[in-house]
Amino acid sequence: MTETALFTDELSCLLSGQYPDENGRFGPFGGRYVPETLVPAITGLEDAMRAALADPGFQSDLGRELSDFVGRPTPLTHARNLGEQWGIDLWLKREDVAHTGAHKINNAIGQALLAKRMGATRVIAETGAGQHGVATAAACARLGLSAVVYMGAVDVERQAPNVDRMRRLGAKVVPVTHGDATLRAAIDEALRDWVSDPGGTYYLLGSAVGPHPYPWLVREMQSVIGREARAQFQERTGGLPDAVVACVGGGSNAIGLFHPFLGDPEVEIFGIEAGGVGEDLGQHAATIVNGSPGVLHGCYTLLLQDPHGQVQETQSVSAGLDYAAVGPEHAFLSQIGRVQYRAASDDAALSALDALCEAEGILPAIESSHALAGARAYGKTHPGSSVLVGLSGRGDKDMATLLARSGGAA
């Protein structure tokens, strides 16, 4: 079979709903690697998810919350000034204006509705940059559920405003000091909690990672981004963009934006990972660009690991991209060549952040700024092209980091 035939065949399986398959795999990636004590909870979640997504009543409730609580549809903004500077026709899908300030609320409110449908009263979650934690706290407050959020101690310090927001929204925030004390450690701790009480606790996982059905469930909740963006772009321009670009850590905002465009062969798709400060292990979080296959947090995917299979610490100015693995669907899309994955350095992302602020009056999250850096790089080789960027969140949460890097000067 030729490489092109493999691409076409595998992509057809994905678009027709054959992936994830009955084992929760996207090609070789995905699956379910969990302790035996979690199997009933995981299978129960999958059954409940399938029933909910097929229930018009659940879909109606979700649609109402997305409209009345989240504020959807989010706008599509034509960034004319910055586009002229970069030599492209630049468009931004504005998840930064969704309630709580990022795309995370789409998944949080959907899963919180599912948790309530399943009879749960206690919800646990993990967070890196804090946006998923804030979204979980807000969704649980909205629906009358208690929330516990695990967060790496390093991220607690660098995302202090979001920690305060979570607590004000009624969530208990638990700093995690072991391991690398970032997102990976937070997920470890959330999984330990879940194992201790799988029957009475709902784990509201925030990214398109983890054991099946989470990568699929999160993609289903986040695909509203791409469905809206595709329709909005066609309405505004009469066509589709030449390229779609989003940042990738675990990959929830990216898979949500990408999925509705996967069947459009004329649209190039780019995922931008955290290039950090160098190419050596420990200097970045570019999992697809530099990783190798392995198992982490319940699924088989691409990891940053040493030759002995030991997962390595990561580095990024962005707390939300600072993760040593990636969602299995992204690993699959990279393998078949439908999505191209690149890395943007800390400096490139911060430069793009400053450019958007000054040209358009929009302060993006540092995570989103990696996607902007990717769009800028694309424009250098494709001048005049139309580029749609997923602006996954706003940068208010990052002001302490930005001030520290500028020496405290405004």
Residues with a catalytic annotation lie at 104, 126, 392
Beta strand pairing status for 29-30 and 25-26?
antiparallel
Tell me the three-class secondary structure of 192-244, residue by residue: HHHHHCCCCEEECCCCCCCCCCHHHHHHHHHCHHHHHHHHHHHHHHCCCCCEE
Q: How far apart are CA 248 and CA 333, in angstroms?
A: 13
10 Å Cβ neighbour count for 176? 25
Q: Phi and psi at residue 57, in whole multiples of 5°?
A: -65, -45
With a CB cutoff of 8 Å and minimum separation 6, the contacts of 328 are 25, 26, 29, 30, 31, 208, 209, 215, 299, 300, 301
Beta pairing partners, 91: 78, 388
Torsion of CA 227, 229, 232, 238, to 10 degrees: -100
